[in-house]
Structure 1
Amino acid sequence: MYALKPYRFPLILLASIFAGGAVGFFAGEKAEVLKPLGDIYLNLMFMVVVPLVFFSIAAAVSNTANMNRFGKIIGSMFGVFILTGIISSLLMLFAVKAFLSVDASPITIEKPDQVENINIADQFVQAFTTSDFVDLLSREHMLALIVFAVLLGLSATLIGEAGKPFVKVLQSGSQVFMKMVTLVMYVAPIGLFAYFASLVGVFGPDLLGTYAKAVAVYYPVALLYFFVGFTLYAFLAGGKEGIVRFWKNILTPAVTALGTGSSVASVPVNLEAAKQTGVPKDVRETVIPIGATVHMDGSCLAAILKISFAFTLFDMDFSGIDTFVKAVVVAILCGVVIAGLPSGGAVGEMLILTMFGLPIEALPVMAALGMIVDPPATMVNVTGDNVSSMLVSRIVEGKGWLKKQIDTKRIAS
């Protein structure tokens, strides 16, 4: 029983999700009556995540005396993000070529009444900046908030002695909001039960019907990447001890992501998990909040699936090195860059249409497919951020980083 103690809360969350799924399966659309309880939990998490991300990143940057180290963290982070995105894309590319077959036009396809033209340049401007300070106080502008927090932390550091009282405020704020997350998590089992009951009750027929073949490819591949891929990453980051500590702490954020379908809502518990694993404070408080916005291995998997599904559905030939390379590049853009833009999902789908010359009728098909694979995709996204923080720690601090963190924690206690 002692061995199961670290997993007690994740197991409770998993039991809540399965129980909610069972209720949704048998109750059908009637289960939607439970949705407000799930929304309350989600809203509580969204309520705390904006100030938490702000204080965490600003405190991490302001507490970094060595700017060369901070630059190394950022450079290593984006290198890891792109590399893991490529690996996940290639994995799904192999899977869809080996296992996915869709009958021509198995569903009723309707052309959207109106498709809004999306200007990528304008989207980037809106993603990284806002025209007013108050607009930063919204999860819809997380990248802009992160940019502001980084600039604020740098400013507090660069003014030297005069900035130290403000740095203490930032550090205190980070701790206060982490404690608030602990309080909110007490209602997580009820919230996840209600949310998943509603999700399965409403979308269950789609999972078993039209998109069954695509789901039958995505879910196993996502689970394979989750268990095998992330275990390998954890080993590369910290050896056998890295694997043990990773799996000891990752289940709570993974289950939270699976239940909520939100990378941003999972940031607080993911930060705590990385802390317990031993990831240095400045690394975890930089990599995980930024990763929740711009690093989506699960979305890379989904992008390849969407492309292949649409090609097959419209009886187009999805083959050839040029097509495969283009698919991987688009998947990386969707999972590492566009994911952080406002309406990132829609921008990604429009990019797929444009790059491959797909008919506009493919848009609602891809949107529906994205909605159906969203729970495991988000779980992979969030877990990928966590293990990426371990890989960045390995690059920044060297081979013995985990042992050093464990020894430091042992001495402090």
Structure 2
Amino acid sequence: MKNEESYMNEKLNLSPWEQFKTPFLLLGGIAIGSLIGIVAPEIGQAVSPLGDIFLNLLFTIVVPLVFTSISAAVGNMVNMKRLGKILGSTVMVFLATGAVAAACVLVWVNLFSPSAGTNIIMESAEIGVTQSAGEMLVGALTVNDFSLLLSKSNMLPLIIFSIIFGFCVASCGGDESPVGKFLNNLNMIIMKFVDVIMAVAPIGLGAYFANLIGEFGPQLLGDYGRAMIVYYPLCLLYVLIFFPTYALIAGGKTGLSRMLQNIFTPAVTAFATQSSAATLPVTKNACDKMGVPKDVSDIVVPMGCTMHMDGSVLSSIVKIAFLFGVFGTPFTGVSTYTMAIAVAILSAFVLSGAPGGGLVGEMIIVSMFGFPAEAFPLIATLGFLFDPAATSLNASGDAIASMLVARVVEGKDWINGKLSA
């Protein structure tokens, strides 16, 4: 924890350029590319292969990234009796709050469409063939041949396979076994590979937007503005309504009071750093002040850093609704909503801690709903614009989740007993 606190202090003492270098570079690349597309569309068309190369690099790394990151994370888990109860409660709370977030955003995007008035037209897309709920479930979760797991079109089956594989590694020696050590080292290599790809992201995204703006016009930027106007108030309403509700369920009036006194610091820290990992020591400190048992927060907060992503669930469904609008397909129907909720929760639940996990989640959206590869940069850019609010909601939500897990594990009087002690 001391190393994490030192990292946090260093992070907050950096200059604005050092602290936000990557966001500045990405925004700069997009801005320059957009300007080129407006002023010289023919140049935008000429540099479009650079954008395609960047996209292809991302798509080729996605399968090994998902497998190694998830298998290594699950394979490293330890197993104790109380830990099992805490883990079960944690998963239950994460899924429940994710489902609430998904239901809220479905109502919201139907009231305020993020793609209303969009001028982006991509007529080449086909939004798949209609399937029954059973066929959709089987096709979404499984494949009938191992080789099919190696395709980016089958992300959810790969995720499930990776989780099961990780559990098997954990039961056969965990991170001390030869396979566990190999997975951890391979995961580090994949992380580095993603870093190398993201080093050229400003050029890749700039080239893509130079071509996109040149083809569809500067009004494209207005479409992103509309999506942000839909998403940011949604996050604020979710915090104002559901955070107090969860705190009351967890600890009554005392829980609500403790939450209100301590939630602001992790929320602001996460918004500033745009990193749940960097905010982890602050969130843990907030949990201690709220009265959450140490062994509960020691487990829930690190897991929440990678798996509890209500803000990401909100953003995922806004992105899905945005793409449906861009491609002229009504975002309606029980099967569509069910699939949107499943994709949003699962991608946030298992991928957020992986390097580039947000990008992988966006690839899942593109592949699961049958959008063409050209749709990926559209929601990847939305993801970047949504990230500060999503990270703030994610990280502060981890403290709320710790309170709920403590309530399940230790009973309704946990907070009074803890504060008395």
Q: 2:18 aligns with which of 36, 53, 68?
A: 36
Structure 1 residue 224 corresponds to structure 2 residue 229: no
CA pair 260-362 structure 1, distance change in 2 beyond 3 A:
same
Distance 1:34 1:384 in 2: 26
- Of 288, 291, 295, which aligns to 1:278? 291
TM-score (norm: length of structure 2): 0.62
1:242 to 255, 261, 267: 255
> Is 2:384 aligned against 1:371?
yes
Aligned equivalents of 2:188, 2:377: Cα separation in 1: 31
Cα deviation for residue 271 of structure 1 reads 0.5
**Cα distance change, pair 264–109 in 1 and its aligned pair in 2 (3 A):** farther
For the residues of structure 1 that align with 2:224 and 2:360, how far apart are their CA atoms? 22
Q: Counterpart of 1:309 in 2: which secondary structure?
A: helix
Deviation at 1:404, TM superposition (A): 0.5
Residue by residue over 1:25-78, the C-alpha shift from the partner in whole angstroms, topping out at 9 and shown as x without a partner, is xxxxxxxx94125569xxxxxxxxxxxxxxxxxxxx99x9xx432211110000
1:268 equivalent among 272, 276, 281: 281
Q: Is the 8 A contact 1:110 1:361 kept in 2?
A: no
Instruction: Tell me, in whole angstroms, the C-alpha distance in 2 between the residues paired with 1:243 and 1:105.
Output: 41
Structure 2 matches for 1:83-162, cutoff 5 A?
83-100=96-113, 102-103=115-116, 105-107=118-120, 118=152, 120=155, 121=158, 124=162, 131=182, 140=191
Cα distance in structure 2, aligned partners of 1:272 and 1:253 = 9
Is contact 1:222–1:380 with CA below 8 Å preserved after alignment?
Answer: yes
Aligned-residue offset at 1:210: 3.2
Query: Following superposition of structure 1 onto structure 2, how do residues 167-178 of structure 1 map, counting pairs within 5 Å?
Result: none
Does the 8 Å contact 1:295/1:335 carry over to 2?
Answer: yes
Contact map agreement 1:238 1:390 (CA 8 A) in 2: yes
> The residue matched to 2:277 in structure 1 has which SS?
coil
Shift of 1:322: 0.9
SS where residue 80 of structure 1 aligns?
A: helix
| Alpha-carbon distance between aligned partners in 2 of 1:268 and 1:395, rounded to the nearest angstrom | 24
SS in structure 1 of the partner of residue 412 of structure 2: coil
Task: Output the aligned Cα RMSD.
Answer: 3.5
In 2: Cα distance, 1:306 partner to 1:387 partner: 25
Identify which of 63, 66, 74 aligns with 2:87: 74
The answer (yes or no) to whether the contact 1:124–1:341 under 8 Å persists in 2 is no
Q: 1:343-379 CA distances to partner (integer Å, 9 max, x unpaired)?
A: 3222211211222112222111100011101111011
Q: 1:101 to 1:392 in 2, by over 3 A?
A: closer
C-alpha distance in structure 2 between counterparts of 1:273 and 1:96, whole Å? 32
Aligned to 2:51: none
Structure 2 match to 1:29: none
Q: Report the Cα distance in structure 1 between the residues aligned to 2:366 and 2:403, rounded to whole angstroms.
A: 36
Q: 1:125: how far off? A: 7.4
Instruction: Return closer, same or farther for 1:267/1:138 CA change in 2, 3 Å cut-off.
Output: farther
Shift of 1:340: 3.1
Distance 1:346 1:330, change over 3 A: same
For this pair of structures, how many residues does the alignment match? 289
**2:361 maps to which of 348, 352, 369:** 348
Q: Cα offset for 1:107?
A: 4.6
Report the CA distance between 1:336 and its aligned residue.
1.1
Provide the residue aligned with 1:177 in structure 2: none
SS in 2 for 1:361: helix
Q: Would the aligned equivalents of 1:293 and 1:340 in 2 still touch at CA under 8 Å?
A: yes
Match of 1:370, SS state, is: helix
How far residue 104 of structure 1 moved from its aligned partner, in angstroms, is 6.1
For 2:288 and 2:315, the matched residues in 1 are separated by 29
Deviation per residue, 1:259-302 (Å, 9 max, x gap): 11111111111001101111000000000001101111111001
Query: Secondary structure of the residue that 1:311 maps to in structure 2?
Result: helix
1:360 and 2:353 are equivalent in the alignment = no
Letter matched to residue 35 of structure 1: W
The 1:206/1:342 distance shift into structure 2, 3 A limit, reads farther
Counterpart position of 1:328:
341
Return the offset for 1:124.
Answer: 3.5
**Does the 8 Å contact 1:299/1:377 carry over to 2?**
yes
The corresponding residue for 2:402 is 389
Q: Which runs of 5+ in 1 are unaligned?
A: 1-16, 18-32, 41-60, 142-204, 409-413
Task: Judge conservation of contact 2:19–2:273 (CA < 8 Å) in 1.
Answer: no
Specify the code of the residue in structure 1 equivalent to 2:162.
F
- The answer (yes or no) to whether the contact 1:302–1:377 under 8 Å persists in 2 is yes
Unpaired runs of 5+ residues, structure 2, are 1-11, 23-76, 125-149, 167-179, 193-217
Alignment of 1:390-405 (within 5 A): 390-405=403-418
Q: Give me the identity figure in percent.
A: 42
Match of 2:97, as an amino acid?
A: T
Q: Give the C-alpha shift of residue 250 in structure 1.
A: 1.2
1:255 aligns with 2:291: no
Under a length normalisation based on structure 1, what TM-score does the superposition of the two structures give?
0.63
